[in-house]
Structure 1
Amino acid sequence: MLELYGHPFSSYTWKARIALLANNTPHVLKMVDPGHPDNSAFVAVAHPAGKFPVLKDGDTIVIESSAIIEYLALTHPGDAPLIPSDPDDAVAARMLDRVFDNYVMAPTTEIVLAHMAEATDPAVIEGASASLLRAYGWLENWFEGNLLPAHFSLASCAAAPSLFYADWVCPIPDACARVKGLRAELLSYQPVIHCIDEARPYRKLFPPGAPDRD
Protein backbone atom coordinates (compact mmCIF):
# COMPACT_ATOMS: atom_id res chain seq x y z
CA MET A 1 0.00 0.00 0.00
CA LEU A 2 1.43 3.36 -1.03
CA GLU A 3 1.54 6.10 1.59
CA LEU A 4 1.11 9.76 0.65
CA TYR A 5 2.17 12.14 3.40
CA GLY A 6 0.38 15.47 3.21
CA HIS A 7 -2.70 17.44 4.17
CA PRO A 8 -6.15 17.55 2.53
CA PHE A 9 -6.10 21.36 2.26
CA SER A 10 -2.67 21.47 0.59
CA SER A 11 -2.66 22.21 -3.14
CA TYR A 12 0.45 20.13 -3.74
CA THR A 13 -1.01 17.21 -1.79
CA TRP A 14 -4.04 17.51 -4.07
CA LYS A 15 -1.81 17.44 -7.11
CA ALA A 16 -0.25 14.10 -6.17
CA ARG A 17 -3.51 12.67 -4.80
CA ILE A 18 -5.41 13.43 -8.01
CA ALA A 19 -2.89 11.29 -9.90
CA LEU A 20 -3.40 8.42 -7.46
CA LEU A 21 -7.19 8.71 -7.55
CA ALA A 22 -7.35 9.03 -11.33
CA ASN A 23 -5.79 5.59 -11.71
CA ASN A 24 -7.48 4.04 -8.68
CA THR A 25 -4.04 3.37 -7.23
CA PRO A 26 -4.44 1.93 -3.71
CA HIS A 27 -2.94 4.32 -1.20
CA VAL A 28 -3.47 5.87 2.20
CA LEU A 29 -3.20 9.56 3.05
CA LYS A 30 -0.95 10.03 6.06
CA MET A 31 -1.96 13.29 7.68
CA VAL A 32 0.82 15.76 8.39
CA ASP A 33 -0.40 18.07 11.12
CA PRO A 34 0.15 18.66 14.85
CA GLY A 35 -2.17 15.75 15.63
CA HIS A 36 0.10 13.27 13.85
CA PRO A 37 3.64 13.97 15.13
CA ASP A 38 5.07 10.71 13.76
CA ASN A 39 4.02 11.64 10.22
CA SER A 40 5.45 15.12 10.63
CA ALA A 41 8.71 13.65 11.89
CA PHE A 42 8.91 11.35 8.88
CA VAL A 43 8.44 14.27 6.45
CA ALA A 44 11.00 16.34 8.33
CA VAL A 45 13.60 13.68 7.57
CA ALA A 46 12.39 12.66 4.11
CA HIS A 47 12.33 16.14 2.57
CA PRO A 48 15.27 18.58 2.67
CA ALA A 49 12.94 21.40 3.68
CA GLY A 50 10.51 19.24 5.66
CA LYS A 51 7.72 19.85 3.14
CA PHE A 52 4.97 17.62 1.81
CA PRO A 53 3.76 15.76 -0.15
CA VAL A 54 6.06 12.79 0.23
CA LEU A 55 5.28 9.41 -1.32
CA LYS A 56 6.44 6.16 0.31
CA ASP A 57 6.26 3.03 -1.78
CA GLY A 58 7.86 0.25 0.20
CA ASP A 59 11.50 1.28 0.57
CA THR A 60 11.20 3.97 -2.10
CA ILE A 61 10.62 7.57 -1.05
CA VAL A 62 9.77 10.24 -3.62
CA ILE A 63 9.46 13.94 -2.82
CA GLU A 64 7.99 16.88 -4.79
CA SER A 65 4.59 16.51 -6.42
CA SER A 66 5.83 16.58 -10.04
CA ALA A 67 8.39 13.86 -9.35
CA ILE A 68 5.75 11.81 -7.53
CA ILE A 69 3.51 11.90 -10.61
CA GLU A 70 6.43 10.96 -12.87
CA TYR A 71 7.15 8.03 -10.54
CA LEU A 72 3.52 6.90 -10.54
CA ALA A 73 3.40 7.01 -14.33
CA LEU A 74 6.39 4.66 -14.45
CA THR A 75 5.60 2.28 -11.62
CA HIS A 76 1.81 2.35 -11.18
CA PRO A 77 0.37 3.08 -14.64
CA GLY A 78 -3.34 3.04 -15.33
CA ASP A 79 -5.93 4.45 -17.72
CA ALA A 80 -5.02 8.05 -16.87
CA PRO A 81 -2.04 9.09 -19.03
CA LEU A 82 -0.12 10.89 -16.31
CA ILE A 83 2.81 11.38 -18.71
CA PRO A 84 1.44 11.27 -22.28
CA SER A 85 3.01 8.72 -24.61
CA ASP A 86 3.18 11.23 -27.44
CA PRO A 87 6.48 13.11 -27.07
CA ASP A 88 5.00 16.50 -27.98
CA ASP A 89 2.14 16.05 -25.52
CA ALA A 90 4.63 14.97 -22.84
CA VAL A 91 6.60 18.18 -23.37
CA ALA A 92 3.39 20.24 -23.18
CA ALA A 93 2.34 18.45 -19.97
CA ARG A 94 5.68 19.11 -18.31
CA MET A 95 5.74 22.73 -19.51
CA LEU A 96 2.23 23.45 -18.24
CA ASP A 97 3.07 21.73 -14.97
CA ARG A 98 5.76 24.33 -14.38
CA VAL A 99 3.48 27.17 -15.49
CA PHE A 100 0.74 26.18 -13.06
CA ASP A 101 3.17 25.60 -10.18
CA ASN A 102 5.42 28.62 -10.69
CA TYR A 103 3.11 31.25 -12.15
CA VAL A 104 -0.34 30.35 -10.79
CA MET A 105 0.21 28.56 -7.48
CA ALA A 106 3.28 30.55 -6.43
CA PRO A 107 1.60 34.01 -6.54
CA THR A 108 -1.51 32.48 -4.97
CA THR A 109 0.68 31.35 -2.08
CA GLU A 110 2.20 34.85 -1.88
CA ILE A 111 -1.27 36.31 -1.35
CA VAL A 112 -2.14 33.71 1.28
CA LEU A 113 1.11 34.32 3.15
CA ALA A 114 0.56 38.08 2.98
CA HIS A 115 -2.76 37.61 4.76
CA MET A 116 -1.05 35.44 7.38
CA ALA A 117 1.53 38.12 8.15
CA GLU A 118 1.20 40.21 11.28
CA ALA A 119 0.69 43.27 9.11
CA THR A 120 -0.77 42.63 5.66
CA ASP A 121 1.22 44.38 2.93
CA PRO A 122 -1.18 45.54 0.18
CA ALA A 123 1.75 45.94 -2.22
CA VAL A 124 2.55 42.23 -1.99
CA ILE A 125 -1.07 41.31 -2.71
CA GLU A 126 -1.24 43.78 -5.58
CA GLY A 127 1.97 42.46 -7.13
CA ALA A 128 0.98 38.81 -6.78
CA SER A 129 -2.48 39.54 -8.21
CA ALA A 130 -0.87 41.23 -11.21
CA SER A 131 1.28 38.13 -11.70
CA LEU A 132 -1.81 35.93 -11.61
CA LEU A 133 -3.64 38.07 -14.15
CA ARG A 134 -0.61 37.89 -16.42
CA ALA A 135 -0.52 34.09 -16.06
CA TYR A 136 -4.25 33.83 -16.80
CA GLY A 137 -3.71 35.88 -19.94
CA TRP A 138 -0.78 33.73 -21.06
CA LEU A 139 -2.79 30.55 -20.52
CA GLU A 140 -5.79 31.99 -22.39
CA ASN A 141 -3.57 32.78 -25.37
CA TRP A 142 -1.86 29.38 -25.23
CA PHE A 143 -5.20 27.53 -25.17
CA GLU A 144 -6.33 29.47 -28.23
CA GLY A 145 -4.01 27.36 -30.37
CA ASN A 146 -3.25 24.36 -28.18
CA LEU A 147 -5.04 21.65 -26.24
CA LEU A 148 -4.35 20.50 -22.71
CA PRO A 149 -3.07 16.88 -22.80
CA ALA A 150 -5.79 14.34 -22.08
CA HIS A 151 -6.95 14.06 -18.45
CA PHE A 152 -5.47 13.17 -16.13
CA SER A 153 -1.96 14.13 -17.05
CA LEU A 154 0.73 15.88 -15.07
CA ALA A 155 -0.65 19.13 -16.50
CA SER A 156 -4.21 18.67 -15.30
CA CYS A 157 -3.04 17.38 -11.91
CA ALA A 158 -1.20 20.70 -11.52
CA ALA A 159 -3.96 22.82 -13.07
CA ALA A 160 -6.83 21.66 -10.85
CA PRO A 161 -5.55 22.78 -7.41
CA SER A 162 -3.76 25.82 -8.82
CA LEU A 163 -6.81 27.23 -10.57
CA PHE A 164 -9.09 26.21 -7.69
CA TYR A 165 -7.22 28.29 -5.12
CA ALA A 166 -6.01 31.05 -7.46
CA ASP A 167 -9.58 31.94 -8.41
CA TRP A 168 -10.35 32.36 -4.70
CA VAL A 169 -7.73 35.08 -4.23
CA CYS A 170 -7.79 36.67 -7.70
CA PRO A 171 -10.87 35.69 -9.74
CA ILE A 172 -10.21 34.59 -13.31
CA PRO A 173 -11.56 37.43 -15.49
CA ASP A 174 -14.36 36.87 -17.99
CA ALA A 175 -11.89 37.73 -20.76
CA CYS A 176 -10.11 34.44 -19.96
CA ALA A 177 -13.07 32.24 -20.85
CA ARG A 178 -10.92 29.23 -21.77
CA VAL A 179 -9.16 29.32 -18.41
CA LYS A 180 -12.47 29.68 -16.56
CA GLY A 181 -13.86 26.81 -18.59
CA LEU A 182 -10.88 24.59 -17.78
CA ARG A 183 -11.29 25.28 -14.06
CA ALA A 184 -14.98 24.38 -14.21
CA GLU A 185 -14.25 21.25 -16.25
CA LEU A 186 -11.57 20.01 -13.88
CA LEU A 187 -13.75 20.65 -10.83
CA SER A 188 -16.39 18.33 -12.33
CA TYR A 189 -14.11 15.26 -12.35
CA GLN A 190 -14.41 12.75 -9.53
CA PRO A 191 -10.72 12.77 -8.41
CA VAL A 192 -10.91 16.56 -8.00
CA ILE A 193 -14.34 16.43 -6.36
CA HIS A 194 -12.88 13.96 -3.86
CA CYS A 195 -10.09 16.38 -2.96
CA ILE A 196 -12.45 19.36 -2.73
CA ASP A 197 -14.85 17.52 -0.42
CA GLU A 198 -12.05 16.13 1.75
CA ALA A 199 -10.72 19.68 2.22
CA ARG A 200 -14.06 21.31 3.13
CA PRO A 201 -13.62 20.99 6.91
CA TYR A 202 -10.45 23.11 6.69
CA ARG A 203 -11.84 26.05 4.70
CA LYS A 204 -12.11 28.19 7.82
CA LEU A 205 -8.31 28.09 7.96
CA PHE A 206 -7.91 29.86 4.60
CA PRO A 207 -6.30 33.18 5.66
CA PRO A 208 -7.89 35.51 3.05
CA GLY A 209 -11.27 33.90 3.80
CA ALA A 210 -12.70 31.12 1.65
CA PRO A 211 -15.50 32.27 -0.66
CA ASP A 212 -18.92 30.70 -0.29
CA ARG A 213 -18.71 28.70 -3.51
CA ASP A 214 -17.11 25.66 -5.10
Structure 2
Amino acid sequence: MTLTLYAHPFSSYCQKALIALYENGTPFEYRMLDDEQTNSELAALWPIKRFPVLVDDGCTIVETSIIIEHLDLHHPGLMRLVPEDARAALDVRMMDRFFDNYIMAPVQKVVSDSLRSAEARDPQGVAEAREMLDRSYDWLNKVVDGREWATGEAFSLADCAAAPSLFYADWVHPVSGAFGNVRAYRSRLLVRPSFARAVDEARPYRHLFPLGAPDQD
Protein backbone atom coordinates (compact mmCIF):
# COMPACT_ATOMS: atom_id res chain seq x y z
CA MET A 1 0.00 0.00 0.00
CA THR A 2 1.54 3.29 -1.11
CA LEU A 3 1.70 6.38 1.03
CA THR A 4 1.96 9.70 -0.81
CA LEU A 5 3.30 12.83 0.85
CA TYR A 6 2.75 16.26 -0.68
CA ALA A 7 5.51 18.42 0.73
CA HIS A 8 8.37 20.81 0.09
CA PRO A 9 11.78 20.10 1.65
CA PHE A 10 12.34 23.69 2.84
CA SER A 11 9.10 23.82 4.87
CA SER A 12 9.54 23.30 8.60
CA TYR A 13 6.28 21.39 8.95
CA CYS A 14 7.15 19.17 5.99
CA GLN A 15 10.51 18.43 7.59
CA LYS A 16 8.64 17.45 10.76
CA ALA A 17 6.68 14.80 8.83
CA LEU A 18 9.73 13.67 6.87
CA ILE A 19 11.66 13.05 10.09
CA ALA A 20 8.92 10.66 11.23
CA LEU A 21 8.97 8.81 7.90
CA TYR A 22 12.76 8.61 7.84
CA GLU A 23 13.01 7.45 11.45
CA ASN A 24 11.21 4.21 10.61
CA GLY A 25 12.26 3.89 6.99
CA THR A 26 8.60 4.05 5.99
CA PRO A 27 8.26 3.80 2.19
CA PHE A 28 6.32 6.62 0.55
CA GLU A 29 5.97 8.55 -2.68
CA TYR A 30 7.30 12.09 -2.36
CA ARG A 31 5.19 14.55 -4.37
CA MET A 32 7.34 17.66 -4.20
CA LEU A 33 5.39 20.90 -4.39
CA ASP A 34 7.51 22.64 -7.00
CA ASP A 35 5.33 22.67 -10.10
CA GLU A 36 1.81 23.63 -11.16
CA GLN A 37 0.61 20.04 -11.58
CA THR A 38 1.57 18.97 -8.06
CA ASN A 39 0.22 22.19 -6.55
CA SER A 40 -3.09 21.55 -8.31
CA GLU A 41 -3.21 18.03 -6.89
CA LEU A 42 -2.65 19.44 -3.41
CA ALA A 43 -5.45 22.00 -3.84
CA ALA A 44 -7.84 19.25 -4.94
CA LEU A 45 -6.98 17.18 -1.86
CA TRP A 46 -6.99 20.05 0.64
CA PRO A 47 -8.52 23.36 -0.49
CA ILE A 48 -6.83 25.16 2.43
CA LYS A 49 -3.60 24.50 0.46
CA ARG A 50 -1.43 24.07 3.53
CA PHE A 51 1.15 21.32 3.56
CA PRO A 52 2.27 18.66 4.16
CA VAL A 53 -0.65 16.42 3.19
CA LEU A 54 -0.50 12.64 3.41
CA VAL A 55 -2.64 10.34 1.27
CA ASP A 56 -3.07 6.78 2.52
CA ASP A 57 -5.20 4.41 0.44
CA GLY A 58 -7.44 7.26 -0.72
CA CYS A 59 -7.69 8.85 2.73
CA THR A 60 -6.34 12.41 3.04
CA ILE A 61 -4.63 13.29 6.32
CA VAL A 62 -3.74 16.89 7.13
CA GLU A 63 -1.91 18.67 9.97
CA THR A 64 1.58 17.38 10.67
CA SER A 65 1.05 16.11 14.21
CA ILE A 66 -1.97 14.13 13.02
CA ILE A 67 0.03 12.75 10.08
CA ILE A 68 2.68 11.46 12.49
CA GLU A 69 0.06 9.96 14.81
CA HIS A 70 -1.57 8.31 11.78
CA LEU A 71 1.75 6.78 10.80
CA ASP A 72 2.27 5.50 14.34
CA LEU A 73 -1.16 3.83 14.32
CA HIS A 74 -1.41 2.50 10.78
CA HIS A 75 2.21 2.13 9.61
CA PRO A 76 4.16 1.39 12.78
CA GLY A 77 7.87 0.81 12.60
CA LEU A 78 10.47 -0.21 15.13
CA MET A 79 10.17 3.19 16.82
CA ARG A 80 6.97 4.55 18.27
CA LEU A 81 6.86 8.34 18.11
CA VAL A 82 3.89 8.62 20.48
CA PRO A 83 4.17 6.36 23.54
CA GLU A 84 1.53 3.75 24.19
CA ASP A 85 1.40 4.81 27.84
CA ALA A 86 -1.28 7.50 28.07
CA ARG A 87 0.52 9.66 30.63
CA ALA A 88 3.78 9.60 28.67
CA ALA A 89 1.85 10.35 25.48
CA LEU A 90 0.41 13.49 27.06
CA ASP A 91 3.92 14.76 27.84
CA VAL A 92 4.98 14.15 24.24
CA ARG A 93 1.89 15.88 22.82
CA MET A 94 2.34 18.86 25.14
CA MET A 95 5.95 19.34 24.01
CA ASP A 96 4.87 18.95 20.40
CA ARG A 97 2.38 21.78 20.88
CA PHE A 98 5.04 23.86 22.64
CA PHE A 99 7.41 23.70 19.68
CA ASP A 100 4.71 24.43 17.12
CA ASN A 101 2.98 27.22 19.04
CA TYR A 102 5.75 28.94 20.98
CA ILE A 103 8.80 28.42 18.76
CA MET A 104 7.62 27.95 15.18
CA ALA A 105 4.66 30.33 15.32
CA PRO A 106 6.71 33.39 16.40
CA VAL A 107 9.40 32.45 13.88
CA GLN A 108 6.77 32.50 11.16
CA LYS A 109 5.53 35.87 12.41
CA VAL A 110 8.99 37.41 11.96
CA VAL A 111 9.54 35.79 8.57
CA SER A 112 6.07 36.67 7.25
CA ASP A 113 6.45 40.27 8.35
CA SER A 114 9.65 40.58 6.33
CA LEU A 115 7.67 39.71 3.19
CA ARG A 116 5.26 42.61 3.64
CA SER A 117 5.65 46.00 2.06
CA ALA A 118 7.33 48.53 4.35
CA GLU A 119 4.08 50.36 5.12
CA ALA A 120 2.27 47.13 6.05
CA ARG A 121 4.84 45.84 8.51
CA ASP A 122 4.06 45.24 12.15
CA PRO A 123 7.11 46.15 14.28
CA GLN A 124 5.21 45.68 17.53
CA GLY A 125 4.10 42.21 16.48
CA VAL A 126 7.65 41.28 15.51
CA ALA A 127 8.99 42.58 18.83
CA GLU A 128 6.38 40.50 20.67
CA ALA A 129 7.33 37.42 18.62
CA ARG A 130 11.00 37.86 19.51
CA GLU A 131 10.06 38.30 23.18
CA MET A 132 8.07 35.07 22.99
CA LEU A 133 11.09 33.28 21.54
CA ASP A 134 13.29 34.47 24.40
CA ARG A 135 10.71 33.31 26.96
CA SER A 136 10.40 29.99 25.17
CA TYR A 137 14.16 29.48 25.04
CA ASP A 138 14.38 30.23 28.76
CA TRP A 139 11.63 27.75 29.65
CA LEU A 140 13.01 25.05 27.35
CA ASN A 141 16.51 25.55 28.72
CA LYS A 142 15.25 24.38 32.12
CA VAL A 143 13.11 21.56 30.74
CA VAL A 144 15.82 19.83 28.69
CA ASP A 145 18.46 20.10 31.41
CA GLY A 146 19.68 16.54 31.88
CA ARG A 147 17.52 15.17 29.05
CA GLU A 148 18.74 13.78 25.76
CA TRP A 149 15.46 14.42 23.95
CA ALA A 150 12.43 16.61 24.55
CA THR A 151 10.68 14.35 27.06
CA GLY A 152 13.54 12.14 28.19
CA GLU A 153 15.53 9.28 26.70
CA ALA A 154 13.19 8.37 23.82
CA PHE A 155 13.05 10.28 20.53
CA SER A 156 9.42 11.16 19.82
CA LEU A 157 6.85 13.28 18.02
CA ALA A 158 8.04 16.17 20.20
CA ASP A 159 11.54 15.94 18.75
CA CYS A 160 10.15 15.78 15.21
CA ALA A 161 8.56 19.16 16.00
CA ALA A 162 11.60 20.53 17.82
CA ALA A 163 14.16 19.88 15.11
CA PRO A 164 12.91 22.21 12.35
CA SER A 165 11.50 24.68 14.87
CA LEU A 166 14.83 25.25 16.62
CA PHE A 167 16.73 25.01 13.35
CA TYR A 168 14.92 27.97 11.81
CA ALA A 169 14.45 29.80 15.11
CA ASP A 170 18.21 30.14 15.49
CA TRP A 171 18.33 31.72 12.02
CA VAL A 172 15.63 34.24 12.94
CA HIS A 173 16.39 34.95 16.61
CA PRO A 174 19.68 33.27 17.60
CA VAL A 175 19.72 31.03 20.64
CA SER A 176 22.22 32.84 22.83
CA GLY A 177 24.89 31.26 25.00
CA ALA A 178 22.66 31.93 28.00
CA PHE A 179 20.55 29.01 26.81
CA GLY A 180 23.29 26.39 26.65
CA ASN A 181 20.97 23.43 27.14
CA VAL A 182 18.84 24.54 24.18
CA ARG A 183 21.93 25.00 22.00
CA ALA A 184 23.18 21.53 22.93
CA TYR A 185 19.75 19.99 22.26
CA ARG A 186 19.62 21.70 18.85
CA SER A 187 23.06 20.27 18.07
CA ARG A 188 21.90 16.76 18.99
CA LEU A 189 18.92 17.14 16.69
CA LEU A 190 21.14 18.26 13.81
CA VAL A 191 23.17 15.06 13.88
CA ARG A 192 20.14 12.79 14.18
CA PRO A 193 20.24 10.96 10.80
CA SER A 194 16.56 11.55 10.00
CA PHE A 195 16.85 15.31 10.51
CA ALA A 196 20.30 15.56 8.95
CA ARG A 197 18.77 14.04 5.82
CA ALA A 198 15.91 16.57 5.84
CA VAL A 199 18.37 19.45 6.28
CA ASP A 200 20.50 18.24 3.38
CA GLU A 201 17.47 17.87 1.11
CA ALA A 202 16.53 21.48 1.87
CA ARG A 203 19.97 22.99 1.20
CA PRO A 204 19.30 23.83 -2.49
CA TYR A 205 16.38 26.05 -1.41
CA ARG A 206 18.13 28.22 1.17
CA HIS A 207 18.14 31.17 -1.21
CA LEU A 208 14.36 31.30 -0.71
CA PHE A 209 14.67 32.31 2.95
CA PRO A 210 13.49 35.95 2.97
CA LEU A 211 15.73 37.05 5.82
CA GLY A 212 18.81 35.55 4.20
CA ALA A 213 19.93 32.09 5.31
CA PRO A 214 23.13 32.11 7.39
CA ASP A 215 26.07 30.10 6.11
CA GLN A 216 25.71 27.62 8.93
CA ASP A 217 23.37 24.98 10.31
3-state SS, counterpart of residue 30 of structure 2: strand
Following superposition, the deviation at residue 150 of structure 1 comes to 4.3
Corresponding residue number in structure 2 for 1:30: 31
**Structure 2 equivalent of residue 19 of structure 1:** 20
1:2-24 CA-partner distances (Å, limit 9, x unpaired): 11101000000000110000000
Q: For the residues of structure 2 that align with 1:124 and 1:211, how far apart are their CA atoms?
A: 23
TM-score of the superposed pair, with normalisation by structure 1: 0.93
Q: Is the 8 A contact 1:81 1:153 kept in 2?
A: yes
Q: Which runs of 5+ in 1 are unaligned?
A: none
- C-alpha RMSD over aligned residues: 1.6
What residue in structure 2 maps to residue 185 of structure 1? 188
Q: 2-side partners of 1:155 and 1:45: how far apart?
A: 30
Q: What does residue 208 of structure 1 align with?
A: 211
TM-score (normalised: structure 2)? 0.92
Deviates more, 1:140-149 or 1:14-23: 140-149
Aligned ranges for residues 49-198 of structure 1 at < 5 Å?
Answer: 49-119=48-118, 120-144=121-145, 148-198=151-201
Q: In structure 2, the residue corresponding to 1:30 is in which secondary structure?
A: strand
- The verdict on how the C-alpha distance between 1:67 and 1:93 changes in structure 2, with shifts beyond 3 A counting, is same
For residues 48 and 74 of structure 1, the distance between their equivalents in structure 2, rounded to whole angstroms, comes to: 26
Q: Judging changes above 3 Å, is the alpha-carbon distance between structure 1 residues 22 and 150 closer, same or farther for their aligned structure 2 residues? A: farther
Unaligned runs of 5+ residues in structure 2 are none
Residues paired across the two proteins, number: 212
Q: Which shows bigger deviation, 203-212 or 113-122?
A: 113-122
Closer/same/farther in 2, CA of residues 131 and 11 from structure 1, 3 Å limit = same
Identity of counterpart residues, as a percentage?
47
Contact kept, 8 Å, 2:144 with 2:185, in 1: the verdict is no
Shift of 1:159: 0.4
Q: How far is the alpha carbon of 1:145 from its aligned partner?
A: 7.5
How far does residue 171 in structure 1 lie from its aligned partner after superposition?
Answer: 0.8
Cα distance, 1:85 vs structure 2: 2.3
User: After alignment, is 148-157 or 184-193 more displaced?
Assistant: 148-157
Structure 1 counterpart SS, 2:175: coil
Aligned partners of 1:3 and 1:29 also within 8 Å: yes
Q: Name segments (4+ residues, structure 1) moved above 4 Å.
A: none
8 Å CA contact retained: 1:22, 1:152: no
Name 1:45's counterpart in structure 2: 44
Q: Is the 8 A contact 1:81 1:150 kept in 2?
A: no
Give the corresponding residue for 1:9.
Answer: 10
Q: Find the aligned partners of 2:12 and 2:154 in 1 and give their Cα distance.
A: 18
